[in-house]
Structure 1
Amino acid sequence: MRLNKFILLSLLLLFMLPGFSQSIKPEEVKKEMKRVADWQIEHFKDCFSGRDKAHHIADWTNGALYVGMQKWAAMADDDAYYNWLKNIGEEQNWTLHKRQYHADDHTIGQMYCELYRKYGDEKMIKATRKQFDFILYHPSQSKLNWRTPFHQDRWNWCDALFMSPPVWAQLYKITKEKKYLDFMLSEYKATTDFLFDKKENLYYRDEGYMGKLDNGTKIFWGRGNGWVFAGLANILKELDPKEKEYKYFLKIYKKMAKKLVEIQTPNGHWAMSLLGQEHYPTPETSGSSFFTFGLAWGINQGILDAETYEPVVRKAWNAMCNCITEDGMLGYVQPIGAAPGKAWPDKSEVYGTGAFLSAGSEVFKLYSK
């Protein structure tokens, strides 16, 4: 009898360990995604990150939301979410945001390309193609050094690698015109050569963080690297594995994936300063959701070994779901920033929701097999 009690207690303690669970149920994944998506649509016009007005519908913050919302729309049981996204496109007249070269203002183009694929309406991508053709034939001559003139006309901060490159890859896949892939690859390589730390296999947010330490560790921003990792998955899905360009992106992706396993926190999330988790114990759900998305995608594609990476994804997904409030808000999303900072259980952001929905789309596939 004592032995049975001991076994029972041991099992109970095991199930209480952070991130431990039996197989994740696909229907539960879908349920949590719907709760978060519905909450975000209801609160779409709210003010976030301490701002006094809502984000512009074509802002990068919302662009990242649409990337995840589109993935959810493809899973949902009705077209309500697709209709919501189409209404956004119509309101914006299917144009990108205001700055010609700035990667942030290209983000909404990812939604346009996906909606074009579903509906086949040329107007959805016409303006994006025209603007990208202009950039292609009038490339910025700016340096990648931070705060040099017109420096953000190129991808000199790691967030940019989520915002713009996937749109170039989508246009290449849609049009079969290699000029889009060639330009994107050239600029991506320039950014990677500049910001990628080959020893740590992580990206600096921008030049300003190189050589600096935070509590004795190099500063690799969690969400910043989340942007990169999710962007890599979204680029790779547009390319043929036989193409040499695919191999270039895959090499970076695998290096980052291996690193992410090593630095995941015991609670399942990733720290806001990736190498300094003891100094940043607070969960941060936007970067962690992007990592979860990218890792689950890799398993689903047969790129990553399930035995190694599935427990990481499982623990991370459970950690993200533990940060959803009763009414469906994803909490612990770090406000707009460029470096490790703070997050709160009652604070959210639209890009956090987008990251979570992206993660859920691949977690659902993983556990539906």
Structure 2
Amino acid sequence: MSQSVLTNFPQGYTPEEVGNRLAYRFMEKYKMSDRKGIGYSDTFNWSGALKYAAVAKDERLLKLLQNKFDSLFTIKKQILPKKTHVDWNMFGSLALEFYRVTKEKRYLELGLSYADTQWELPENAKAKEREWDANGYSWQTRLWIDDMYMITIVQTQAYRMTGDRKYIERAAKEMVLYLDELQRPNGLFYHAPDVPYYWGRGNGWMAAGMTELLQYLPKDNKDRPRILKGYRKMMKSLKKYQTSDGMWNQLIDHPDCWAETSGSAMFTFAFITGVKQGWLKVSEYGPAARKAWMALVPYINEKNDVREVCVGTNKKNSKQYYYDRPRHIGDYHGQAPYLWCAVALLEQ
């Protein structure tokens, strides 16, 4: 079986159609005049739309996205995220994506300021932050699974745009720490060490983070074999827990829990990329990736908003808590990974 399993989609399911719908939905919905700040879900939806514009060669969309961003250099400068938290520093990945697409140096400078401060210990750092820093890790380390997207995406982007290996080596070292501390024997990740539940989107952050990092991690990096092993172990488990419909549930290993779109889309992105990069066997994972994509698309409603997206969720040691989480429509946590999937399907 060849990678053609990830092409030839029926009308309504092509990555071009889905990417176009969701990227332009972001453009119309995201109003800078209303913003008092920029959250991480805003950042990666914006970035997904930008990546789609680039791969689709949609100059009009690119210009619209760029014009929106450029107000952050002028009248909306005050809403730029502070460089004091893992969820805020990842904003640098968007600025660096603008640099990749436009080659305008102001985006590079802005993006690197977020990548660099993730490893620059602030004067008022807490004792634990100083300890992480002393051991060569980001002072923003928390051992929350979300971090393995937030930290790795900005450091990986900084490496891609500069060629300076310190950035990608930081990200790889950090990823190994999280894998060693948090990955369970079955390949999945608890929401937290004291919360023994395999929450969908939490695991999605790890899956997407490893996928992004492995795409650009040099073959001779000493941590690459360990990260690839952790990635494959996770993918094997995810394949096992994919439902007959092609989705994954809010609690991955609970068959009676509801199908959740944001985590499912992140896992689909990891499958698509793994097949295309040769990390996963096409014969095993190609059909699973296609099945997932075909299952995801019908969750987009007529307004181009994704349904069944779990709201932002803090940890809680209660199974019922995860079953009862509110489900949003059009939440950027769901819109963004659909765009990642569309881009991954379109990339050569």
TM (norm. structure 1) is 0.78
Letter paired with 1:121 = E
Structure 2 residue 277 is the aligned partner of structure 1 residue 294? no
What CA deviation, in whole Å up to 9, does each residue of 1:183-232 have, x standing for no partner? 333333333332221x12112222341xxxxxxxx401100111111111
Equivalent residue, structure 1, for 2:48: 68
Distance across 2 between alignment mates of 1:194 and 1:55: 37
Distance across 1 between alignment mates of 2:51 and 2:325: 26
Between stretches 54-63 and 316-325, larger displacement belongs to 54-63
State the Cα distance separating 1:343 from its structure 2 match.
7.1
State the Cα distance separating 1:77 from its structure 2 match.
4.6
Letter paired with 1:360 = A
Q: Counterparts in 2 of 1:40-189, with a 5 A limit?
A: 40-45=26-31, 56=36, 58-93=38-73, 97-138=80-121, 141-142=127-128, 153-189=140-176
Partner SS for 1:269: coil
Equivalent residue, structure 2, for 1:338: 314
Letter paired with 1:307 = S
Distance across 2 between alignment mates of 1:55 and 1:156: 30
The answer to whether the Cα contact below 8 Å between 2:115 and 2:154 also exists between their aligned partners in 1 is no
Between stretches 86-95 and 309-318, larger displacement belongs to 86-95
Out of 328, 341, 347, the position equivalent to 1:359 is 341
Structure 2 residue 269 is the aligned partner of structure 1 residue 256? no
Any unmatched runs of 5+ in structure 1?
1-20, 47-52, 145-150, 210-217
Shift in CA distance, 338/344, structure 1 to aligned 2, threshold 3 Å: closer
Aligned length: 324
What CA deviation, in whole Å up to 9, does each residue of 1:3-42 have, x standing for no partner? xxxxxxxxxxxxxxxxxx9952487331122122223322
Q: Which has the larger radius of gyration?
A: 1
State the Cα distance separating 1:54 from its structure 2 match.
6.4
Distance across 2 between alignment mates of 1:104 and 1:67: 15
The answer to whether the Cα contact below 8 Å between 1:40 and 1:329 also exists between their aligned partners in 2 is no
Shift in CA distance, 343/85, structure 1 to aligned 2, threshold 3 Å: farther
The answer to whether the Cα contact below 8 Å between 2:145 and 2:191 also exists between their aligned partners in 1 is yes
CA RMSD of aligned residues (A): 3.1
Shift in CA distance, 138/71, structure 1 to aligned 2, threshold 3 Å: same
Q: Counterparts in 2 of 1:18-57, with a 5 A limit?
A: 24-25=9-10, 28-45=14-31, 56=36
The answer to whether the Cα contact below 8 Å between 1:142 and 1:153 also exists between their aligned partners in 2 is no
Partner SS for 1:168: helix
State the Cα distance separating 1:154 from its structure 2 match.
1.6
Letter paired with 2:112 = R
Distance across 2 between alignment mates of 1:121 and 1:155: 34
State the Cα distance separating 1:284 from its structure 2 match.
1.1
The answer to whether the Cα contact below 8 Å between 2:99 and 2:108 also exists between their aligned partners in 1 is yes
State the Cα distance separating 1:336 from its structure 2 match.
1.5
Partner SS for 1:203: coil
Identity of paired residues, percent? Answer: 25
Q: Counterparts in 2 of 1:196-215, with a 5 A limit?
A: 196-197=183-184, 199-209=185-195
Letter paired with 1:58 = I
Equivalent residue, structure 2, for 1:148: none
Equivalent residue, structure 1, for 2:297: 321
Letter paired with 1:351 = H
Q: Counterparts in 2 of 1:208-287, with a 5 A limit?
A: 208-209=194-195, 218-278=196-256, 280=257, 282-287=258-263
State the Cα distance separating 1:261 from its structure 2 match.
0.5
Between stretches 345-354 and 316-325, larger displacement belongs to 345-354
State the Cα distance separating 1:159 from its structure 2 match.
0.9
Distance across 2 between alignment mates of 1:66 and 1:316: 23
What CA deviation, in whole Å up to 9, does each residue of 1:258-311 have, x standing for no partner? 111000011111111111122x1x221111111111100111112111110111
Shift in CA distance, 73/183, structure 1 to aligned 2, threshold 3 Å: same
The answer to whether the Cα contact below 8 Å between 2:91 and 2:114 also exists between their aligned partners in 1 is no
Shift in CA distance, 320/97, structure 1 to aligned 2, threshold 3 Å: same
Distance across 1 between alignment mates of 2:155 and 2:181: 20
The answer to whether the Cα contact below 8 Å between 2:152 and 2:171 also exists between their aligned partners in 1 is yes
TM (norm. structure 2) is 0.82
What CA deviation, in whole Å up to 9, does each residue of 1:31-86 have, x standing for no partner? 1221222233222249xxxxxx9665521010121232122112335212222332
Any unmatched runs of 5+ in structure 2?
1-5, 131-137, 316-321
